[in-house]
């Protein structure tokens, strides 16, 4: 059962790493596009500054914006590399090995989990660690019974018949008692009872903590669903704004900077949406782990 518990943890860790890798890959692509836009904008501002068409403040602001997205891009790439290593470790691969991931895995905009009562019902018969603690408690209970029986040692009585010179027969009794008889085995009983109580306490604590974790995860999932719905409405509106600015630039009606700002805002919202969707996936996987259910329906 211990091996099965470890395999279960590795499987869930691998599943989480796959979703994280895909999310970070998508975020990397978005940030690389942003980095290219800001580099183009920096070069344009730099040329304009040399020609005296913009202020030094404008030039510094363009450089700062470019440096900022470079930092974000490096952070995402580092997270992606770390997750790749965790996935390799979970799958037993060498650090430099890579596997082709399914690219069409969708990040859900909403997920409605089963009800609390359904998730907590029969929990102790699904979670392998709880099942193991139950079995260990039963085994220890038997040990207590054995120690208690040893408190009342077995008595062996033997009879012997002898004949003396006067031709009279006499009966003798030999009594054998199993030690210990002085401490009544109290020490061994106390140790067995303490071990049994420790197992019982650990079991009840884990059940209580699991139920609390399930309740907290359900609240988090409900909150993430609301956040995703709010953020999900922003990208289409920002995309329409970007397209409008692009058309205005072609007609010479607005500055290029406004176009870049709106485009970057769109990218930020897309990255935020991906982060929230990943949190929702991770919350679902955490719920699977704590409930002992390998795959909760999406």
177-208 pLDDT per residue, tens? 455 544 556 667 777 777 778 878 888 888 88
Percent of the chain with pLDDT over 90: 21
Phi/psi at 284 (5° precision)? -65, -45
The band of 252, judged by pLDDT with boundaries at 50, 70 and 90, is: low
Superfamily of domain 113-155+183-298: Outer membrane efflux proteins (OEP) (1.20.1600.10)
The band of 149, judged by pLDDT with boundaries at 50, 70 and 90, is: low
On the question of pLDDT at 246 being above 80, the answer is no
Q: What is the pLDDT of residue 254?
A: 65
Q: What is the pLDDT of residue 220?
A: 93
The domain limits of the chain are: 1-105, 113-155+183-298
Return the higher-pLDDT residue of 29 and 125: 29
Q: What is the mean pLDDT of residues 154-163?
A: 51
The band of 223, judged by pLDDT with boundaries at 50, 70 and 90, is: very high
Name the residue among 121, 87, 71 with its Cα closest to residue 17. Answer: 87
Per-residue pLDDT tens over the stretch 17-61: 888 888 999 999 999 998 998 898 889 888 888 888 878 887 888
CA distance 284 to 221: 8
Return the higher-pLDDT residue of 90 and 262: 262
Whether the upstream peptide bond of residue 180 has omega within 30° of 0, thus cis, is: yes
Q: What is the pLDDT of residue 298?
A: 53
Neighbours of 17 (CB within 10 A): 21
Assign 288 to helix, strand or coil: helix
Name the residue among 120, 267, 270, 131 with its Cα closest to residue 199. Answer: 131
Q: What is the pLDDT of residue 181?
A: 47
On the question of pLDDT at 81 being above 80, the answer is yes
Q: What's the pTM?
A: 0.75
- Say what the alpha-carbon torsion angle 284, 285, 286, 291 is, to the nearest 10 degrees: 90
Helices 128-151 + 186-232 axis angle, to 10:
170
Assign 89 to helix, strand or coil: helix
The band of 130, judged by pLDDT with boundaries at 50, 70 and 90, is: confident
């Amino acid at each position: 059962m211990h091996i099965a518990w470890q395999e279960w943890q590795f499987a869930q860790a691998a599943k989480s790493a796959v979703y994280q890798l895909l999310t970070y890959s998508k975020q990397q692509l978005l940030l690389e596009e942003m980095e290219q836009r800001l580099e183009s904008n920096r070069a344009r501002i730099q040329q304009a500054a040399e020609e005296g068409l913009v202020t030094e403040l404008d030039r510094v602001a363009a450089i700062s914006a470019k440096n900022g997205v470079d930092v974000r891009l490096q952070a995402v790439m580092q997270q992606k590399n770390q997750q790749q290593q965790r996935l390799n470790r979970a799958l037993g691969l060498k650090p430099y090995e890579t596997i082709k991931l399914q690219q069409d895995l969708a990040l859900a905009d909403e997920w409605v989990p089963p009800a609390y009562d359904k998730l907590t019902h029969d929990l102790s018969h699904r979670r392998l660690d709880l099942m193991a603690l139950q079995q260990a408690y039963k085994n220890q209970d038997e040990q207590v019974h054995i120690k208690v029986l040893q408190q009342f040692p077995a008595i062996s009585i033997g009879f012997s018949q002898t004949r003396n010179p006067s031709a009279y027969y006499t009966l003798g009794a030999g009594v054998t008692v199993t030690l210990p008889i002085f401490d009544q085995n109290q020490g061994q009983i106390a140790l067995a009872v303490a071990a049994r109580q420790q197992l019982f306490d650990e079991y009840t604590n884990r059940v209580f903590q699991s139920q609390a974790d399930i309740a907290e995860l359900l609240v988090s999932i409900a909150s993430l669903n609301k956040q995703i719905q709010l953020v999900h409405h922003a990208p289409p509106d920002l995309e329409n704004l970007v397209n409008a600015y692009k058309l205005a630039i072609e007609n010479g009606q607005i500055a290029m900077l406004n176009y870049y700002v709106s485009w970057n805002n769109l990218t930020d919202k897309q990255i935020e949406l991906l982060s929230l969707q990943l949190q929702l996936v991770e919350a679902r996987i955490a719920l699977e782990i704590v409930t002992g259910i390998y795959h909760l329906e999406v």
